[in-house]
Amino acid sequence: MRAQFVLSEIGVGLRRNLTMTFAVIVSVALSLALFGGALLMREQVSTMKDYWYDKVNVSIFLCNKTDASTSPKCAKGAVTKQQREQIQADLKKMDIVENVIHETAEEAFKHYKEQYGDTAIASVITPDQMQESIRVKLKDPEKYKVVATAFAGRDGIESVQDQRSILETLFNMMRSVNYAAVALMLLMLVIALMLIINTVRVSAFSRRRETGIMRLVGASSFYIQMPFIMEAAFSGLIGGAFACVLLVAGRYFLVDHGLNLAEQMPLVNFIGWDVVLAQLPLVIVIGLLMPSVAAFIALRKYLKV
Query: Which residues of the chain form contacts with other proteins (CB under 8 A)?
Result: 1-2, 5, 209-210, 212-221, 223-224
Are 141 and 77 in contact, with CB atoms under 8 Å apart?
Answer: no
Nearer to other proteins, 13 or 236 (CB): 13
Q: Which of residues 129 and 221 has its CB atom nearest to other proteins in the complex? A: 221
Pick between residue 16 and residue 73 the one whose CB is nearest to other proteins: 16
Report which secondary-structure segment, H or E, holds 99: strand 97-103
Closer residue to other proteins, CB minimum distance, 214 or 278: 214
Q: Which amino acid is at 156?
A: G
Q: Find the shortest distance in angstroms from Cβ 6 to other proteins.
A: 9
CB of 13 to other proteins, least distance (A): 13
Question: Minimal distance in Å, beta carbon 40 to other proteins?
Answer: 43
Length of the chain counted residue by residue? 305
| Of 53 and 223, CB closest to other proteins | 223
- Please, are residues 226 and 262 in contact by the beta-carbon 8 Å criterion? no
Report the residue number, 110 or 215, with the smaller CB distance to other proteins: 215
Amino acid at 234: F
- The nearest distance, CB 219 to other proteins, in angstroms, is 4
Residue spans of beta strands (DSSP E) within 153-301? 157-162
Amino acid at 284: I
What is the smallest separation between the CB atom of 212 and other proteins, expressed in angstroms?
7
CB 50 within 8 A of CB 269: no
Smallest gap from Cβ 303 to other proteins, in A, equals 14
Instruction: Give the nearer residue to other proteins in terms of CB position, either 113 or 215.
Output: 215
Q: Report how far residue 38's alpha carbon sits from residue 130's, in angstroms, rounded to the nearest whole number.
A: 34
Report in angstroms how near the CB of residue 228 gets to other proteins at its nearest: 14
Q: Which of 191, 212, 195, 224 is nearest to 300 (CA)?
A: 224
Residues in contact with 25: Cβ distance below 8 Å, sequence separation at least 6, in sequence order: 235, 238, 239, 242
CB of 1 to other proteins, least distance (A): 5
230 φ, ψ (degrees, to nearest 5): -65, -35
Residue 228 contacts residue 295 (beta carbons within 8 Å)? yes
Q: How many CA atoms lie within 13 A of 215 on its CB side?
A: 10
Indicate the residue among 64 and 203 with the shorter CB distance to other proteins: 203
Closest-CA residue to 60 (of 101, 11, 14, 5) = 101
